[in-house]
Amino acid sequence: MLGSASLFGLLSAVLYTSFSPVPVDALNNGVGKLPALGYNTWNAYGCNIDEDLVLESAQLMVSLGLQAVGYEYVNIDDCYAEKNRSASGDIVADSVRFAHGMKNLTDQIHELGFKTGIYSDSGWFTCGGYPGSFQNELRDATTFQDWGFDYLKFDNCAIPFDDIIREGMIGKYTRMSDALAQLSQSSGQPPFLFSLCQWGWVTGDIAPEWDSLALIINFNSFITQATDFYGHNDMDMLQLGNGGLTFDEAKSHFTAWALMKSPLLVGASAIGTNLSAITPDILGILTNTEILAINQDSVVGKSISPFRWGINPDWTSNSTSPAQYYSGPSENGTVFMLLNTLNETSDMFFNLTESPWIRAGRQYSVRDLWTHTDNGTAVRNFTAVDVPPHGVVALLLNDAGDEPAGIFPPCAVWFNCAYENGTAAN
């Protein structure tokens, strides 16, 4: 379960559950305000990692232009450690695969301009059978800081029995969040970015296939209210290519993750067995700066949310056909995502005021975030024509003034409005 989607929280303000915020004693210095962009070793390499592979991946993130558009983390997942702690109780890096030491590796990654992340577990052991951090939270946090890491992914295997842990799901993770906050306060260094995996909140590991994406999107569509600055629902690592998705499905995958404000962590298996195998099409998806700008909006932290489910009645949970019509605010306008969950090409129509972020009686300029074109002005409604199967349309709408005079009926949702004397508008 190592690649399970995680709830992405931060130590500098609040740690979010899927449903309500829980304050933690931490530093409010802005660390983790926005979703993380970066790279993770797990999905491609699993336990077959070493210092050369991690450094090569960081170098490729630079040469491919991913760093230039904002990807800033290079993260090591499970299996980097020796199976046993040292005589003094510390986690020890594998002496063969990380022969030059973790600090040497993180120094080189930092010199490339990245931050870097490490992995541990809230239980006795990690999911790969390496030492977990239960009852060693502050000790391990100190080790990770001494090694030079900036980010901690915290998993959910080998959980102690209830009569030992005596905590609910929040308390179990608060042990490490408090340790990280305490370490930051005592050392004067910025707090770690804290990415926690609570499987009861998520849908299982992502797979590079449409059914897996639909399952995760459906689940996340019901908890979008839990995403804002300092707390991000992590929908799991990106799985864009590697033969499992069509190009249109890959675009839908990236769009949904980005606009729902999930962290965007590229695993090498998302594009092949090695970052050097990335295709121009997939690289183009990963470097769509207009989509990335919504994910990294520093003014508005909210996720898009469904305003209409589409082929299903509203509020229907359907793991194979999630909601199709989404919108949300952003610094630069109202964002729309139209997701064609059908297995055939479809036109997708909506009235503008179905979105709570649109004002009645106004017209809106339309920017397509995938074609990078300005597509005229929408008055009252919009139709996306010929959306491919499992494809997506991403739009940015901006107020362009009053709608033209003389339009009949006098309101877009004509069956629900009336003249001053009470006569129906239709």
pLDDT at 46 over 50: yes
205 is catalytic: yes
50 tagged catalytic: no
Q: What is the predicted pLDDT for the residue at 57? A: 92
242 pLDDT band, cuts 50/70/90, is low
pLDDT digits (tens, 9 = 90+) for 277-312: 788 999 999 999 999 999 999 999 999 999 999 999
The pLDDT score that the predictor gives to residue 196 is: 87
Quick: pLDDT tens for 120-162: 999 999 999 999 999 999 999 999 999 999 999 999 999 999 9
Q: Which residue has the tokens 């702690």?
A: 85
Instruction: Give 225's contacts (C-beta < 8 A, 6+ positions apart).
Output: 305
d(CA 421, CA 47): 73
Q: How confident is the model at residue 247 (pLDDT cuts 50, 70, 90)?
A: very high
> Cα-flanking dihedrals φ and ψ of residue 361, to 5°?
75, 10
Between residues 259 and 237, the one the model is more confident about: 259
Residue 53, SS3? helix
Place 274 in a pLDDT band, splitting at 50, 70 and 90: low
pLDDT-derived band of residue 204, with 50, 70 and 90 as boundaries? low
All domains of the chain, ordered by start, with CATH?
Answer: 7-295 (3.20.20.70), 305-402 (2.60.40.1180)
Q: Residue 77 — very low, low, confident or very high, per pLDDT cuts 50/70/90?
A: very high
User: Looking at 262-276, 281-295, 374-388, 397-411, which range is the least confident one?
Assistant: 262-276
Q: Do 43 and 239 meet the contact criterion of CB atoms below 8 Å apart?
A: yes
pLDDT-derived band at 13, boundaries 50, 70, 90: very low
Report the range of poorest mean pLDDT among 97-101, 193-197, 204-208: 204-208
Catalytic residue among 205, 228, 234, 236: 205
Q: Which of 304, 235, 228 has its CA nearest to residue 3?
A: 235
Mean pLDDT over each residue of the chain, to the nearest integer = 89
Whether the ω angle into residue 409 lies within 30 degrees of 0, i.e. cis, is yes
Residue 17: the pLDDT is 31
Higher local confidence (pLDDT), 244 or 330? 330
Q: Which of 121, 150, 155, 234 is catalytic?
A: 155
